[in-house]
Amino acid sequence: PPGKPAQLILARQCVHIGGLEDPAHATGTEAEIEAAFTAAYRILRRRIEALFALPLAHLEHDPARLRVELDRIGTLSL
């Protein structure tokens, strides 16, 4: 398992996908269901891109700041 505090926080936050509706539970027309999957994909992509943009070399020494950044990423939407 990861050993540094920043790695532990990152590992925990990566599993948590807060505020994102599971498109597998979408109902409606085929177009509405497809729109739900497209929206979820776009949100996940935006969050992943933001995660990869983090300056982890600096944040690994500041777990509190890393948590703030990860919480911010977890709220990104369309």
Task: Give the pLDDT confidence of 24-76 residue by residue, as tens digits.
Answer: 999 999 999 999 999 999 998 998 899 889 998 888 888 889 889 988 888 88
- The DSSP call for residue 25 is G
Q: What is the pLDDT of residue 16?
A: 52
CA distance 74 to 13: 8
Q: Are 69 and 54 in contact (CB under 8 A)?
A: yes
CA distance 12 to 30: 34
Residues contacting residue 22 through CB under 8 Å, at least 6 positions apart:
40
Q: Say what the pTM is.
A: 0.73
